[in-house]
Amino acid sequence: MATPTMSNARKPYHQLSSCFVDTVPDSLDGIYRSLDNFAKVSKFGGGMGMYFGKVRAAGSTIRGFQGAAGGVIRWIRLVNDTAVAVDQLGMRQGAVAVYLDAWHRDLPEFLQLRTNNGDERMKAHDVFPAVCYPDLFWRLAEENIDAPWHLMCPHEILTVKGYALEDYWGTEWEKRYLDCVNDPRIEKRSVTVKDIVRLVLRSAVETGTPFAFNRDSVNHMNPNGHTGMIYCSNLCTEIAQNMAPIEHISTEVHTENGDTIVVTATRPGEFVVCNLASLSLGNLPVEDEAYMERTVETAIRALDNVIDLNFYPLEYARLTNQKYRSIGLGVSGYHHMLAKRGIHWESDEHLAFTDAVFELINYAAVKADTALAREKGRYALFEGSDWQTGAYFEKRGYTSEKWRALAKTVAVQGMRNAYLLAVAPTSSTSILSGTSAGIDPIMKKFFLEEKKGSMLPRVAPELSMDTWWYYKAAHLIDQSWSVRAAGLRQRHIDQAQSMNLYITNDYSMRQVLRLYLEAWRAGVKTIYYVRSKALEVE
């Protein structure tokens, strides 16, 4: 189970969820409510993802006054200070990722949040910035990098056009984006795609961030697109679930027994919660189908129980979690699994093996979940979902006889949980289970890792003369093999995966861009850190 589940179970405040995601509305009340939500989540040990794409840009209007808005950076600085002030029960510092769209007018400043040069008043060194990219951006970066790219204010678009551009994706988004670009009433900050790419890559190489979120890929594969859309991911980029901002409805004053009571009513929106666990692939006989199905079934049942046993720091979180019953089963020990079987990371054998293993995990998860739905009831929004219509299976090319039979069963029985699989980084839990972390290659065969201020020796699991040559250090691996493997895994994962890129000082900016483009083409939904050798502590 995930760290919060293990460290908080049996405690009076048994907050068992790992991550939460909130959509920040474009209003003073809304922004401070989101800050308040983050503080409460952080207090009880949860990490946070915050989507700032709805907040108006610097210099935008407030109540008709030109140039009055301070922009998203000012608010992100408040988020930064909240992360430092409210730690996670003394276990770890508050942690938050802030997401912004690639077309938001404040993007250039946003991309310099963590860099070490420039105006210190525009910095936020304790948050993790992330950018939401539409397909159009990567298409231009690949075909015509000198093409103009227009940065606009979401509030201005809403005022002039009457719709929120960030509420669309895919071809519909592209159509509306061009409509906004051609409207002279909307102020544009025009740059080239190359300018943005340079800022992204410079920040990635210097600071490891921004994380990347490919929103069109994510929404295209969303099994619950019938009830909403996904704006961003969480702190570790593996969660992709429907989101909606909390809306203020009214504030009323009542008198009860001579006491005056002020009642504020809000519409709860969709405040994402993720309950995580991982299969320790290095310690599992992944070739034994029956064994794997039993193990996956146990994990799915345990995660479903977390939803009902959980203490929720916010009612918004409880409502969303009970509506969707989302879970995130992931893996750790990926490199351990390959090395143990004598499979080189940089080989076609690796790609074929990972494809087969993750298809088996997904099949076992869907099968277990639909059986659980028959036993305990389906999630509230199953009707009309990709699970019910069969689109989930079609989009992933699951056409074999056993998949078709499962799709029929799902349509009849339903699903217990709206979202099933998400691969988290599993750094701490992999230490406990004596395996390698997440889906990453090992850093080195032997290295020291800092945890809570102490140095921890880490050795490649089951290191012997038999496995020695199969443990190639992360920075020595050709990263395009990692990207291709992520693309194959992504087909079987309904949410996303915490996938890092490991680069050395020899990498050119063009090579790093090529990895981003390769990931986008392969259908990889998110990229976590770009870990450069320069960031490693000797």
Query: DSSP string covering 164-202, please?
Result: -GGG--HHHHHHHHHHHHT-TTS--EEEEHHHHHHHHHH
* Alpha-helix runs per DSSP H in 377-495: 386-389, 391-395, 401-413, 427-432, 479-490
Helix, coil or strand: residue 514: helix
Q: Are 508 and 486 in contact (CB under 8 A)?
A: no
245-248-251 Cα angle (round to 5): 165
d(CA 237, CA 526): 6
* CA 97 to chain CA centroid, nearest Å: 9
What per-residue confidence (pLDDT) applies to 538? 45
DSSP symbol at 229: B
Q: Are 189 and 105 in contact (CB under 8 A)?
A: yes
What per-residue confidence (pLDDT) applies to 534? 57
Contacting residues for 471 by C-beta, under 8 A, at least 6 apart:
335, 339, 442, 445, 460, 463
d(CA 207, CA 477): 21
Helix, coil or strand: residue 378: coil
Pairing of strands 272-274, 247-256: unpaired
Pairing of strands 128-133, 96-101: parallel
pLDDT tens-place values along the chain, 538 residues long: 998 899 888 888 888 999 999 999 999 999 999 999 999 998 888 889 999 999 999 988 888 887 778 899 999 999 999 998 987 566 667 789 999 999 999 999 999 999 888 888 889 999 999 999 999 999 999 999 999 999 999 999 999 999 999 999 999 999 999 999 999 999 999 999 999 999 999 999 889 999 999 999 999 999 999 999 999 999 999 999 999 999 999 999 999 888 999 999 999 999 999 899 999 999 999 999 999 999 999 999 999 999 999 999 999 999 999 999 999 999 999 999 999 999 999 999 999 999 999 999 999 999 999 999 999 999 999 999 999 999 999 999 999 999 999 999 999 999 999 999 999 999 889 999 999 999 999 999 998 888 777 888 889 999 999 999 999 999 999 999 999 999 999 999 999 999 999 999 889 999 999 999 999 999 999 999 999 875 454 4
Domains 1-14+275-499 and 19-251 share a fold: yes
Domain extents for the chain?
Answer: 1-14+275-499, 19-251
Identify the CATH assignment for 1-14+275-499 out of 3.20.70.20, 3.40.50.300, 1.20.1560.10, 3.30.300.30. Answer: 3.20.70.20
CB contact burial 414-423 (16+ within 10 A = b; e otherwise): bbbbbbbbbb
Structure-block tokens of residue 188: 């544009």
Residue given tokens 């000012």 in the structure block:
74
Structure-block tokens of residue 467: 């496995």
Assign domain 19-251 to a CATH class.
Answer: alpha beta
DSSP symbol at 281: G
Q: Are 299 and 279 in contact (CB under 8 A)?
A: yes
Q: Which residue numbers are catalytic?
A: 234, 236, 238
